[in-house]
C-alpha cells in the first residue's frame, strides 16, 4: 500500500455539504465500497436514511428516532464546530475522522477511508459514527505504513537442492486407450514421455461479454423503481383527485427546476431535488437523447394517475 496524502479540505467540504442536512443517496464517486456494496446487494427502505450513511446501520434506530444519525446530523443545521482531522490504521486501511460538535459536545464523527490500487479513488466517505470508543489509535499525523518490499527469508524455507528430485508438472493430458495402465507402469518402468500421445490443455477461455442492451434495460428498470418510490413518498397522504393533481404539478415543477440546477429552501423539495439529480446522472450513462430521463419522470406520474382512475369494466 502506498503512503496516503493528507485528507484534502475540498473532500471534507463536499461531503459535509451532503451530510448537514443529510441528502440521500450520496454521490457514488464519493462513497466507499462497503456502503456501495451494501446498497447494491441489500437495498434499504427509502425512508431509512441511516442505512445510506453507514455500512453497518444500528437496527434499533427505528425504535429511537431521536438518537438516529439523521437526527444528530439534522441538529447541526443551525451551526456546528468542526474538529481537527485525526488518522488511524487498522493494518489494512487508513482512516480519517472529523468530530462535529455543537455547544461544546461532540454529536457525530465523520469517517473517511483511503482507497489504494490501480482503480482507487483516494479519500472517500466511509461512515458517520456516534461518539463512542474504538480500538484504533488516532493521531493528527498520518501513520507510516510498512514498505511493500519482499519479505525477509525465513529459516523454514526449503534447503538448497530440496526440489531437485521432483519433476515439474506437464501441460498435457494423456488420452490414449492404455492411459491407465501406462500411468501405473510409469512407477516401475522409465518411459520416454515424448513418444506418448498428448493433448494440450487450453490456456485461454474466451470471455463472454454482456449484451449492452441488457445492461441498459436493467439500469433503466432500476431508475424507474427508484422514481416510483420517490413519487409514492411525494404523494403520501393525497387521497382526493384534486390533491393528487396538485402533487403531480409540484412533482413536475421541482423535477424540471432540479434538472436546470435551481436551488431549493423547502426541506422536502431539497431532498427530492438531490435524488432527481442523482437519478439523472445515472440515466445519462445508459439512455440516449436529452429528453429520455424527463420522459421517465412523466411516466411515473402517468402510471400513478392511470392506476387511480376508475376502470370502465367495473
Q: What is the mean pLDDT of residues 4-26?
A: 89
* pTM for this prediction: 0.46
Q: Where are the alpha helices (H) located in the chain, listed in sequence order?
A: 9-19, 33-41, 69-74, 179-185, 212-234, 241-259, 267-284, 292-308
Comparing C-alpha atoms, which of 208, 230, 207, 222 is closest to residue 285?
A: 222
> Is the confidence at residue 153, as pLDDT, over 50?
no
Confidence of residue 67 (pLDDT cuts 50, 70, 90): confident
- Residue 151: the pLDDT is 44
- Residue 314: the pLDDT is 36
Q: How does pLDDT run across 278-309, given as a tens digit for each residue?
A: 888 888 877 655 678 888 888 888 765 555 54
Q: For residue 105, which phi and psi values (nearest 5 degrees)?
A: -120, 130
β-pairing, 199-200 vs 86-89, is unpaired
β-pairing, 94-102 vs 122-129, is unpaired
- Residue 274: the pLDDT is 87
Q: Among the listed ranges 110-114, 195-199, 217-221, 241-245, which one has the minimum average pLDDT value? A: 195-199
Q: How many residues does the chain have?
A: 314
Average model confidence (pLDDT) across the chain: 78
Q: Among the listed ranges 31-45, 131-145, 147-161, 258-272, which one has the minimum average pLDDT value? A: 147-161
| Higher pLDDT, residue 272 or 305 | 272
- Residue 155: the pLDDT is 46
> Is the confidence at residue 209, as pLDDT, over 90?
no
> Is the confidence at residue 242, as pLDDT, over 70?
yes
| Higher pLDDT, residue 159 or 122 | 122
Residues forming beta bridges with residue 139, ordered by sequence position: 87
- Residue 95: the pLDDT is 93
- Residue 306: the pLDDT is 53
Q: Looking at the chain, which runs of residues are DSSP E strands?
A: 81-82, 86-89, 94-102, 105-115, 122-129, 172-173, 199-200
> Is the confidence at residue 41, as pLDDT, over 50?
yes
| Higher pLDDT, residue 38 or 59 | 38
| Higher pLDDT, residue 106 or 149 | 106
- Residue 104, all three cell numbers: 461544546
> Is the confidence at residue 172, as pLDDT, over 80?
no
Q: How does pLDDT run across 73-121, given as a tens digit for each residue?
A: 988 988 999 999 999 998 889 999 999 998 888 889 999 999 987 778 8
Amino acid at each position: 500500500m502506498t503512503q496516503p496524502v493528507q485528507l484534502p479540505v475540498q473532500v471534507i467540504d463536499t461531503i459535509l455539504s451532503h451530510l448537514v442536512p443529510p441528502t440521500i443517496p450520496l454521490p457514488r464517486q464519493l462513497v466507499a465500497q462497503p456502503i456501495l456494496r451494501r446498497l447494491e446487494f441489500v437495498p434499504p427502505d427509502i425512508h431509512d436514511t441511516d442505512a445510506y450513511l453507514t455500512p453497518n446501520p444500528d437496527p434499533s434506530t427505528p425504535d429511537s428516532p431521536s438518537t438516529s444519525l439523521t437526527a444528530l446530523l439534522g441538529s447541526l443545521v443551525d451551526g456546528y464546530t468542526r474538529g481537527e482531522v485525526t488518522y488511524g490504521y487498522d493494518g489494512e486501511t487508513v482512516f480519517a475522522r472529523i468530530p462535529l460538535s455543537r455547544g461544546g459536545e461532540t454529536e457525530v464523527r465523520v469517517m473517511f477511508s483511503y482507497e489504494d490500487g490501480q482503480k482507487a479513488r483516494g479519500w472517500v466517505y466511509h461512515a458517520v459514527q456516534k461518539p463512542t470508543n474504538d480500538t484504533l489509535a488516532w493521531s493528527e499525523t498520518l501513520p507510516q505504513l510498512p514498505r511493500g518490499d519482499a519479505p525477509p527469508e525465513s529459516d523454514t524455507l526449503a534447503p538448497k537442492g530440496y526440489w531437485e528430485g521432483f519433476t515439474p508438472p506437464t501441460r498435457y493430458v494423456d488420452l490414449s486407450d492404455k492411459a491407465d495402465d501406462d500411468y501405473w507402469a510409469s512407477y516401475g518402468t522409465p518411459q520416454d514421455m515424448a513418444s506418448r500421445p498428448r493433448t494440450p490443455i487450453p490456456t485461454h477461455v474466451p470471455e463472454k461479454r454482456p449484451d449492452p442492451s441488457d445492461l441498459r434495460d436493467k439500469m433503466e428498470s432500476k431508475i424507474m423503481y427508484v422514481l416510483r418510490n420517490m413519487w409514492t413518498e411525494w404523494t403520501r397522504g393525497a387521497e382526493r383527485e384534486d390533491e393528487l393533481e396538485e402533487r403531480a404539478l409540484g412533482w413536475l415543477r421541482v423535477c424540471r427546476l432540479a434538472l436546470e440546477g435551481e436551488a431549493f429552501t423547502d426541506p422536502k423539495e431539497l431532498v427530492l431535488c438531490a435524488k432527481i439529480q442523482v437519478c439523472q446522472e445515472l440515466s445519462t450513462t445508459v439512455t440516449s437523447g436529452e429528453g429520455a430521463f424527463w420522459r421517465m419522470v412523466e411516466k411515473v406520474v402517468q402510471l400513478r394517475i392511470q392506476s387511480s382512475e376508475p376502470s370502465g369494466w367495473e
